A and B are shown apart, each in its own frame.
Chain A
Amino acid sequence: MKTKKLINDPAAIIDEMLDGMLAAHPQHLMQVPDSPRSIIARDGPRDGKVGLVIGGGSGHEPTFVGFVGRGLADAAAIGNVFASPPPDPILECAKAVDGGAGVLFMYGNYAGDVMNFDMAAEMAAMDDIEVRTVLSTDDVASAPPDRRVDRRVDRRGVAGNFFIFKAAGAACDKMLDFDACERIARKANDHTYTMGVALSPCSLPHTRKPNFDLGPDEMEIGLGIHGEPGVERGPIQSADAVADALMDRILSEMQPSKGDTVAVLVNSLGSTPMMELYLLNRRVKQRLDDIRVGLHATWVGGYCTSMEMAGASISLHHLDGELIEMLDHPCDCAQFRVG
């Protein structure tokens, strides 16, 4: 059976989505002339400021375009569904937001994204734009267990991008120099941990077939945001039990001390409703209270989705003074606002 979707021609889905996005957020977003998949902030890019270019495949809305705006990303390069953008639109983003102080590329750690963004960085260097890259690697479920190298390096970027991009965007907006922006971006990534659970798969617009099978009473912990199968499959459990399973993994990695402070994102992967996200968040708060970890701020909603997938993820951003300053720094994007 094919999934029901409100679409026109699957081949036109990205361009039609961008048309709708630009129509909805004309005060925040615009396309680079002749490069329609390069979306830049109307307010933000300026001389002397480190430019921040994010991007990746479509299907995760509001990630990535929703995070383009003053105080956050200057531009996003958009790929096909679940597919990295090619180098050209990434390069056009870099050119459009280059203020002469360097350009940061930030995106989730996926093989395709790395190849395309690296090719774009090589092309930017030929145009005398200095590019540095900070990959997000917040998915604690995603390091293959047999690797001897640093597990962090092998991980994928998922919903925790929200905090990682926010910190980097703030550093850039505060006109910090290239080294400081890069350092803060890396630190934000090192301080962000995400675990997810899937209850049902999603399907690509071209095929409208579920991209993996999950039994009617099953859930899968640790799935990727492209529906890549996860690390552990089992019978569906209560919201509290699922929140505990995700929090156990996150906390065992994060190792917070009593009195530490975190920010929380409870994220829907697509079709899981706010009601269920709030149940998860209730348990997250109880768990943090139990270990005397303070809560600086919480976001609940669909920030990094996987089309119509059912499921959720929990991200914890382990704060210190500097990261609090970055998180609280004002931003004004299509989907998100602080201050």
Chain B
Amino acid sequence: MSTIDQARLIDLFNLMADAIEREKDHLCELDGAIGDADHGVTMSIGFSAVRKALSEVNAAHPTDVFNTAAKAFLNAVGASAGPLYATAFMRAGAKVKGQTVLDRTAVADMVTAMADGVRSRGKADLGDKTMLDAWDPAAKAALQALEADRSAAEILSQAADAAEKGATTTIDMMAKKGRSARLGPRSVGHIDPGAASTAILLRAMADGFTAE
């Protein structure tokens, strides 16, 4: 499969939900080191709501799927993750509006739109030790893969690789935004939980897409 239609996109969201459920405790542990230990719970609540909403929605286009997921996630969790991921999904939906299937260009657009959503909602800078440190390299990798004539699957998998690498770089960063910022130097040595969940989601999408 080289494109994503609305049904396939729902499958990918369900795979993301599965991945979050598997990594829930791990994300809580990461958050416990520099935050309030609830990121795994928050993500799990959010993706359970996404799964439920998508099982009930009558989606005609990928944009409907993104908007449904955004609204469900936002209203289930609030917190920081809610506005950030919801804005990411909404921007992706807006970017691919009118398309019934997402081809390789649209897949790259989707990743960059999500990264832009996180950047504008969170107002963090690169290096602040936030999920942007995973999203930004993911978007750059997706664009590079697109320009190198890679397939949609390769675009997603290279974005996931870059997100994982980006998440790892947050270990050495000192937090400047969000709840961990108050720790100052004590935040160094721990991965940012939001960057970690970003990498998990992109990896789940990439794996799900490739497995098809």
- Interface of A toward B, CB cutoff 8 Å: 11, 57, 79-88, 110-112, 115-116, 119, 141-146, 154, 156, 204, 206-207, 209, 211-212, 224, 226-229, 231
Contact = CB atoms under 8 A, between A and B. Distances in A.
Given A204-B38, A206-B38, A83 B179 contact: no
Interface in B81-103: 81-84
A228 B78 contact: no
B160 to A, nearest CB: 25
Given A207-B28, A207-B41, A211-B37, A79 B79 contact: yes
Given A204-B38, A207-B41, A86 B32 contact: no
Contacts of A142: 182
Given A115-B121, A115-B122, A119-B83, A228 B182 contact: yes
Given A86-B77, A212-B32, A231-B182, 8 more contacts: A82-B38, A86-B74, A88-B74, A112-B82, A115-B122, A144-B182, A144-B184, A146-B184
Quick one: which of A79, A144, A231 has the most chain B CB within 10 A? A144
Nearest to A306: B36
8 contacts: A82-B38, A86-B77, A111-B80, A111-B177, A112-B79, A156-B182, A207-B28, A228-B36
A112 to B, nearest CB: 4
Contacts of B122: 111, 115
Interface residues of B, number: 34
B117 to A, nearest CB: 12
Interface of B: 25, 28, 32, 34-38, 41-42, 45, 74-84, 121-122, 176-184, 186
Contact of B75 (A57, A88, A146): A88
A146 B32 CA distance: 23
Nearest to B37: A211
Quick one: which of A142, A154, A209, A228 has the most chain B CB within 10 A? A228
Nearest to A147: B176
* Main SS at interface, chain B: helix
The 5 closest A-B pairs by CB, nearest first: A112-B80, A83-B79, A115-B83, A86-B78, A226-B36
Contacts of A226: 35-36, 179
Contact of B32 (A11, A112, A141, A211): A211
A211 B77 CA distance: 19
A94 B182 CA distance: 31
Contacts of A212: 32, 37
A228 B178 CA distance: 11
